[in-house]
Structure 1
């Protein structure tokens, strides 16, 4: 601060002693406050032709040459500092001394002015035009008031220069400004160290914004703090995104915590149920136990009535719902996708129960309030619906193996995507299905007996050259027939078994395969047949008939096999099994076992091989 500024003390006009001193200053001196000239010394009155009776003398724009340049310089000068100004339209240059309420301007001819390209001017302009808010405060003044703000500060906060100069920076704070953050800034200022915080501030119009504030002390050559500089950056968009992410994360953690137990319990119900009805009831009861839901039910489309019959429910379940209705449950079955709707003040969401393209019904839930079901919740419930459908499929498949009451269905398939159809169409041979065998991983292959002129590896290789989608090999080759292992293409055996259907036989010749299927009477036979017709082009249903399943029980099979073995064959097989002969390493030898039977080793092995052959024939011959 200059001596003149100190004498004036920041008033709009100098004291009488200061005024007397200024009258002897040869350079023109003018004091400007609130856009008016409040004092001129004699040199100024002479230089600018100002008289005591001039009515315009208080208007600097009229009285002073180069006032526009001076006015801008005054606005840009930090309180408590001085600035040199070049006045191109005047014979004078000026030095501006800025105080909070007024500015003293000294006009000097031939004053050395810093070039606009000088380092100081470039730095001043950089601060004025910086894209971040910059403010400077003076800790030597009471309450550490702001003495400078740049344009970006004004744009961010809505406060003008005159609004904030002379005020503490806390004017940006409001009711939701964090007290701990405010205290952190205060401590840093007390300790004369820099600090960066993020705090909710308020613009002049009262709107909130997130302000990234950096405060740092400015020191003189002696290391004393003379000012504080503040940098303000509006980070509202980034902060709101972070807070939204935190909220979504918290909500997701809540959902996951709640869903974890639900998924575990539903999975346990699916795994532990002995039949389909028990499974469906347990699932409904468990989901309905969640406070979020007011009702849960599982329904199934009745193909005879085209209505959705409720199989199990816990709470709210509709009655007499048509499969063509606009209810979410009907929509979910028709579209095989999730459907939601708001009815009677709550949300109903329905999830199809589908496994391997077989429809097992629909799972529907009603929320306890008028809240919507968001995507995350829908994903969880969809996963539960798939688990239920898988469990139902497993129960239906088990029932196929256990039940004796079946519907025998014969269908003719000519779709060459089916492996036996493709082979019989390309090669001159007839295929008879024997059984399915497991390969590595989850892959399976089917064994067929091939009979005919092309039932050889060489002939099949020529016939199937173009069918690169098929993998095949001849396991055993005899005159006019071979045992053929085939994988790839469309495997109807695996596909149908996943739907609770047992393939009894496949016979394929001239590109047409007849499949003999067994479907439990209690199953939706029509749905299974429709699925076959939809999957395979040019499918013809040959016959339907209800019957009891053929085949022995385990006890009957054992009795029949024992009757086919001679006493010596049965004894050799029994002693080999009980003696651990089929284990590795073997605890006994064929010679030891032969000695227990009182026969030679070659005789024992002959009886054992014959018994093994009869066992394999009984097990594999009709499968």
Structure 2
């Protein structure tokens, strides 16, 4: 025995030795390293009919070892786990160390009860003492017969875990590892278990000799003599700092997420209500900034829009404290400038305040940037960034809806002419394939949300159109009527240009396609981001050229002007036929009057009346659909 062992033996004094104390633990305890049993207490030797330590674990433990070996491999070093064994073999608790594991078996019968009552034979105490010293977990033994239940033995693993040497520990109560952050409930639970002479396992924060904290999983069990009296307490110590810190970090992240969700939930509801209730874009932007600035956690919010002429971001709406200047250069490192350049959220922290910017983009149309400033000493983490990004997308969607509705209401528009050659567009592809001219008439929306466009085709027969369309992929061409050297067709394809432009606040006025080139005329509200719409078209369709921009007032015809124009186009006979048919109920069903009766009222024959009526109806339709 070396000097340390000798010192430990002398300090233990008349109290039972470490190996002797473990021999008195009523549960079978074995230490295993590399598949070999290096120590077995008396209960384990009796239960598994073991001799000296050093036996192969698979041979000694039989079918149990397969489950135990797997569990040891799956147990993190420095932690413990409870393992249920198969059949009636009970369960076991594994304490895993760097070089092996200590296994304490459940006290339930294991099928070897007959051997359990036998007395141990001679054993190699030196081997058992060495096994205790080399056990992979900290082991302590205390003597409750002495004042304050002091420690009488600690092994080398305990010294490694705590930093205290043997002679600094023996003779002291184990509470010296506790400190100001040690959990009082766990301490009280251990004290109650010792008073009740029962085993206990707790997790609490302890302190090493150098003052550093570590999380300790402590298992304490009473050791009884043959009369059932407690002679010692044996303790197992596991440093579970890594696992515990991971658990606490998860708890903190969960608490932070719950805080964010609770705080942002109300904000989302407020902003959603603003988007639904605002009547125009300016009102929407003002209300959004106000709601964000008033929310807990934010100091200020503003919405800005790029001005390409000045190279700045001009602030449109703002709310909250510490206003920034009215414009920000797009070539600075401000997060708003970075967001517009990359279309991704950007965050920076200056003077303890985080500034976060989020793009306001919908259907590839840029509507500006939303920037928020947080409270002091608080940044914007990934979770909050995701939530605010979704909020920004909702705001952009609301702006898009206001801008799209403005197309129908405003007279101040910008007329844009574009030339497109992208063959993914059906009129471009068909005009090239059929060598014809196509002129856009209007779009037709079906009940299944499908949209087709009506075109007139000249310079080709109906059969030629259908044959050319058949050769094209993703182009559907159906002839509606063929007459006077032209065809009226329904044309659809994979790319619905008119619908796509409408979703972005642009109204298609004309599409003229010939020789694989289409001239497209758009009307965009003057207040909208015209540049962004045009850039979106250029990005979507290769070979797009801008022909012209022109600001103008949209022609608005009153009802009286429309009626006067139609009346000028009708002859007296045509006007009389249309008027008498309408007033006489000819368009109702069942008809209260006949064409014969109406003809007689005009003093003309029935065929003549119907000719005047059909001509008047045709002129009415042309006036309504914009052909006259």
TM more than 0.5: yes
Secondary structure of the corresponding residue to residue 520 of structure 2: strand
Q: Verify: 1:257 aligned to 2:265, yes or no.
A: no
CA distance in 2, matches of 1:79, 1:445: 101
Q: Relative to structure 1, is the Cα distance of residues 476 and 125 closer, same or farther in structure 2, using a 3 angstrom cutoff?
A: farther
In structure 2, what is the equivalent of residue 431 of structure 1? 438
**CA offset at residue 301 of structure 1?**
2.2
**CA offset at residue 390 of structure 1?**
1.8
CA distance in 2, matches of 1:170, 1:573: 106
Q: Relative to structure 1, is the Cα distance of residues 403 and 142 closer, same or farther in structure 2, using a 3 angstrom cutoff?
A: same
In structure 2, what is the equivalent of residue 474 of structure 1? 478
The structure 2 residue matched to 1:486, chosen from 492, 515, 518, is 492
Contact 1:295 1:317 in 2 (8 A): no
Alignment of 1:59-70 (within 5 A): none
**CA offset at residue 371 of structure 1?**
3.4
**CA offset at residue 399 of structure 1?**
0.8
In structure 2, what is the equivalent of residue 199 of structure 1? 204
**CA offset at residue 471 of structure 1?**
5.3
The structure 1 residue matched to 2:361, chosen from 354, 360, 367, is 354
CA distance in 1, matches of 2:284, 2:199: 65
In structure 1, what is the equivalent of residue 249 of structure 2? 244
**CA offset at residue 546 of structure 1?**
3.7
In structure 1, what is the equivalent of residue 158 of structure 2? 153
CA distance in 1, matches of 2:387, 2:14: 63
CA distance in 1, matches of 2:244, 2:586: 79
Contact 2:457 2:487 in 1 (8 A): yes
Q: Relative to structure 1, is the Cα distance of residues 117 and 504 closer, same or farther in structure 2, using a 3 angstrom cutoff?
A: closer
CA distance in 2, matches of 1:124, 1:147: 14
In structure 2, what is the equivalent of residue 46 of structure 1? none
Secondary structure of the corresponding residue to residue 304 of structure 1: coil
In structure 1, what is the equivalent of residue 107 of structure 2? none
CA distance in 2, matches of 1:525, 1:287: 28
1:265-318 Cα distance to aligned partner (Å, 9 max, x none): 122112211111111111122222135333322222223333332222224131
CA distance in 1, matches of 2:373, 2:308: 26
Q: Relative to structure 1, is the Cα distance of residues 70 and 542 closer, same or farther in structure 2, using a 3 angstrom cutoff?
A: closer
Q: Relative to structure 1, is the Cα distance of residues 346 and 72 closer, same or farther in structure 2, using a 3 angstrom cutoff?
A: closer
In structure 1, what is the equivalent of residue 231 of structure 2? 226
The structure 1 residue matched to 2:379, chosen from 372, 375, 379, is 372
CA distance in 1, matches of 2:563, 2:156: 98
Which one has the largest radius of gyration?
1
Q: Verify: 1:386 aligned to 2:390, yes or no.
A: no
CA distance in 2, matches of 1:75, 1:513: 103
CA distance in 1, matches of 2:390, 2:212: 44
Contact 1:300 1:361 in 2 (8 A): yes
Q: How many residues align structurally?
A: 502
CA distance in 2, matches of 1:561, 1:444: 30
Contact 1:299 1:309 in 2 (8 A): yes
Q: Relative to structure 1, is the Cα distance of residues 213 and 540 closer, same or farther in structure 2, using a 3 angstrom cutoff?
A: same
1:567-590 Cα distance to aligned partner (Å, 9 max, x none): 445765885xxxxxxxxxxxxxx6
The structure 2 residue matched to 1:463, chosen from 453, 466, 471, is 471
Secondary structure of the corresponding residue to residue 321 of structure 1: strand
**CA offset at residue 237 of structure 1?**
1.4
In structure 2, what is the equivalent of residue 293 of structure 1? 298
In structure 2, what is the equivalent of residue 28 of structure 1? none
CA distance in 1, matches of 2:340, 2:254: 33
Q: Verify: 1:420 aligned to 2:424, yes or no.
A: no
In structure 2, what is the equivalent of residue 501 of structure 1? 506
CA distance in 1, matches of 2:318, 2:260: 24
Alignment of 1:553-572 (within 5 A): 565-568=578-581
Q: Relative to structure 1, is the Cα distance of residues 573 and 303 closer, same or farther in structure 2, using a 3 angstrom cutoff?
A: farther
**CA offset at residue 556 of structure 1?**
7.5
Q: Verify: 1:403 aligned to 2:403, yes or no.
A: no
Q: Verify: 1:521 aligned to 2:526, yes or no.
A: yes
In structure 2, what is the equivalent of residue 583 of structure 1? none
Contact 1:338 1:351 in 2 (8 A): yes
Q: Relative to structure 1, is the Cα distance of residues 511 and 598 closer, same or farther in structure 2, using a 3 angstrom cutoff?
A: closer
Alignment of 1:204-219 (within 5 A): 204-219=209-224
Contact 2:345 2:359 in 1 (8 A): yes
CA-based RMSD: 4.0
Q: Relative to structure 1, is the Cα distance of residues 493 and 293 closer, same or farther in structure 2, using a 3 angstrom cutoff?
A: same
In structure 2, what is the equivalent of residue 71 of structure 1? 6
Secondary structure of the corresponding residue to residue 288 of structure 1: helix
Contact 1:296 1:363 in 2 (8 A): yes
Q: Relative to structure 1, is the Cα distance of residues 478 and 115 closer, same or farther in structure 2, using a 3 angstrom cutoff?
A: same
CA distance in 2, matches of 1:365, 1:308: 15
Contact 1:427 1:454 in 2 (8 A): no
Contact 1:293 1:367 in 2 (8 A): yes
Secondary structure of the corresponding residue to residue 206 of structure 1: coil
Q: Relative to structure 1, is the Cα distance of residues 410 and 75 closer, same or farther in structure 2, using a 3 angstrom cutoff?
A: farther
Structure 2 residue runs without a partner (length 5+): 21-50, 61-122, 568-574, 599-609
Q: Relative to structure 1, is the Cα distance of residues 318 and 230 closer, same or farther in structure 2, using a 3 angstrom cutoff?
A: same
Contact 2:18 2:141 in 1 (8 A): no
CA distance in 2, matches of 1:239, 1:368: 31
In structure 2, what is the equivalent of residue 532 of structure 1? 537
Q: TM-score, normalised by structure 1?
A: 0.70
Alignment of 1:300-315 (within 5 A): 300-314=305-319, 315=321
Q: Verify: 1:322 aligned to 2:329, yes or no.
A: yes
CA distance in 2, matches of 1:80, 1:175: 32
The structure 2 residue matched to 1:274, chosen from 264, 275, 279, is 279
Q: Relative to structure 1, is the Cα distance of residues 186 and 401 closer, same or farther in structure 2, using a 3 angstrom cutoff?
A: same
CA distance in 1, matches of 2:522, 2:408: 13
CA distance in 2, matches of 1:326, 1:231: 57
The structure 2 residue matched to 1:140, chosen from 118, 121, 145, is 145
**CA offset at residue 343 of structure 1?**
4.5
Contact 2:430 2:469 in 1 (8 A): no
Secondary structure of the corresponding residue to residue 333 of structure 2: coil
Contact 2:8 2:153 in 1 (8 A): no
